[in-house]
Amino acid sequence: MNDVFKALADPTRRMILDLLKDKDLSAGDIANHFSMTKPSISNHLSILKKAELVLAEKQGQFIIYSLNTTLFQDVIKWMLELRGET
């Protein structure tokens, strides 16, 4: 779960997840939402992908990213346990 927490620690990466909530987007579309270079966004995407918070599917020359919230379950479980809500 460490990769997940590390990935969530950066505000840009959390914003990317927020963007993907509404619809899947290409790397370029995502980058266009930020005042940051494409390689920087590409790096953030690779961190999110390594944490399995996003999925990447190649469609021709585009790579379409989508949200994967399955690991949120583990985080939520950990938090609820800390709250004593086993």
Residue numbers at the binding site for a copy of itself (CB under 8 A): 2, 5-6, 8-9, 11, 14, 17-18, 21, 67, 69, 72, 75-76, 79-84
Write down the least CB distance from residue 83 to a copy of itself, Å: 5
How far CA 67 is from CA of 12, 13, 72, 81, 84, in Å, comes to: 15, 12, 11, 25, 29
Sign of the dihedral through C-alpha 11, 20, 62, 6: positive
Residue 61 vs 86, nearer CB to a copy of itself: 86
Residue 16 vs 86, nearer CB to DNA: 16
Distance CA 81, CA 68 (A): 23
Residue 50 vs 80, nearer CB to DNA: 50
User: Strand 62-67 and strand 25-26: pairing?
Assistant: antiparallel
Binding residues (CB under 7 A) for DNA: these are: 6, 9-10, 12, 26-29, 31, 35-47, 56, 58, 60-63
